[in-house]
Amino acid sequence: MGSGTRRPWRWALLGMLVAQAACAAGPQAEPDPAVLTTAGRTLGREGEARGPVALLEAFREDGVLVTSGVVVGPGVAAIRAYLAPAHADSAFTMSWTPSYARIAASGDVGYTVGTFHGRREGEPIVGSYVTIWRKQAGVWGVELVSWTDWP
């Protein structure tokens, strides 16, 4: 065979190899929401042990807090200032328990919903919340928390 002879089998072989590699990769696995449920439970335990500091540490720098009809942020500094009375209340506690979590197919955004309980100014508080999480550099952080006290 001379140098001008075509070799279609090379293209067929290349096509089969590419197809085989694509099939071997298979469909992407659905992200496991248990990761966020675990993160939420850990944050809840930290909140019970350390108070609002735990929540502040979990927020991304541009985080937002929505509570009692008030939007606080964006930014941890604004959230810290809003939560200052809770810091001053030595009896303040809050623990939350996620009951449901979901992660987007992209794997970098998700949410948890659940309930919380604690004490504020000596009185019991209970309610529900939604937390939106974002994953950056492999670490989940809080983008937004919205909570509502129950009467």
Looking at residue 28, what is its pLDDT? 60
Sign of CA dihedral 40, 42, 43, 44: positive
d(CA 105, CA 111): 13
Q: How many C-beta neighbours within 10 Å does residue 85 have?
A: 12
What residue spans define the domains of the chain? 34-149
User: Which CATH architecture group holds 34-149?
Assistant: Roll (3.10)
Question: What are the average pLDDT values for consecutive 10-residue runs of the chain, which has 151 residues?
Answer: 48 47 53 91 87 86 91 94 84 87 95 91 91 94 92 77
The amino acid present at 148, given as its one-letter code, is T
Strand order in the sheet with 70-72: 70-72, 59-67, 139-149, 123-136, 109-120, 93-103
Q: What is the per-residue pLDDT for 95? A: 85
Q: What pLDDT is attached to residue 12? A: 46
Q: Which pLDDT score is estimated for 69? A: 83
pTM of full prediction above 0.85: no
